Amino acid sequence: MTEVKREVFGQMPQAEGGGVVEKFILKSDSMKVEILSLGCIIAALETKGRDGEFSDVVLGFDTLEGYMRKHPYFGATVGRVANRIAKGRFTVDGKEYQLLLNNGPNSLHGGARGFDKVLWSPQVLPNGVCFFRLSPDGEEGYPGDLKVWVTYTLSGGELAINYRAQTSKTTPINLTNHAYFNLAGQGSQDIYNHEISIEADSYLPVDETKIPTGEVAAVQGTSFDLRQPVELGKHLQKFHLDGFDHNFCLQQAQARCLVARARHPPTGRTMEVHTTQPGIQFYTGNNLDGSLRGKGAVAYPKHSAFCLETQNWPDAVNKPHFPSVLLRPGEEYNHTTWLVFNAA
């Protein structure tokens, strides 16, 4: 059985359009998840270790003020297009569109005011919550009125996130959740003792601005071969890596596939990622620098969390040989990601 409760989390500033931000608490016998109507943000995710004790394993803030300040998309649903679009430019049906550049020379995670920074309309379900919004034609430079639904449902130790969308004009769309995880518990210093595996035979090399070069490279014999679990700290040392911020290419299946696994041996916590998406961005919190203070006023230093963002491939709108990122009128965008937690 899943319990669902709602409460007021805060009030948006008038400058941001005002409005009440609600928090939805989904609770099963083995997990508790808190989700905000602002940006569909996963604000907390508590799960048991092998000792039976609950810990919150996602980074974030205790108050709305934290989320209103600049932060690296903690827990948020990002869109209309997650990840990077080169030079913020793309052409659809012969028309060129120019987006705001908010990541060096590129557009990142939907622009200046993406899906992470807006209020969504909630509907409580028996085992979760469904959020809806209409992204109007021209919002952040994107074409078409886009109706979007993001649904969270909790069953035992499994959190499912379903994304649906319909458009009035052909538009690129790529939705993901940007939760930062530390299975030792948020506020722990690093993720070096986590074991990570990703079911991918290839990955996308990137240029110095993190845009894929267009090559689809085999992981075999490289630092990107994570098909067998690696202990993260030792792996980064062995290959002299600053960290990961790369798309791993998954099997092109519309069916549910197990694509990644993270394990924290000291607590026994494991997290499996299952998805219908063609890619997953593995990011090791390289840009965290200790300047942000999160829940309990704890500083979040470099490598204190990881993200496993299920997605289409970055800059796919400009790379015809990548899986198509375009949604056309009359079609429906529909993807699901499942996060499965247990302790052993």
Which of the residues are catalytic?
178, 309
Phi-psi region of 297 (alpha: psi -120 to 50; beta: other; left: phi over 0): left
Q: Answer positive or negative: Cα dihedral of 303, 305, 310, 314.
A: negative
Helices (H), the chain: 64-68, 232-238
245 is in an annotated binding site: yes
83 is in an annotated binding site: yes
Helices (H), 47-137: 64-68
180 is in an annotated binding site: yes
Judge if the upstream peptide bond of residue 227 is cis by omega within 30 degrees of 0: no
Whether 272 and 256 have beta carbons less than 8 Å apart is answered as no
SS3 state of residue 31? strand
- DSSP structural state of residue 232: H
Tokens at residue 95, please?
A: 């028309």
Q: Which helix (H) or strand (E) holds 133?
A: strand 128-135
178 is in an annotated binding site: yes
Whether 148 and 164 have beta carbons less than 8 Å apart is answered as yes
The Cα–Cα gap between 50 and 168 comes to 49
Cα 162-109-330 angle, rounded to 5 deg? 50
Per the annotation, binding residues are 83-84, 178-180, 245
Tell me the binding residues for beta-D-galactose.
83-84, 178-180, 245
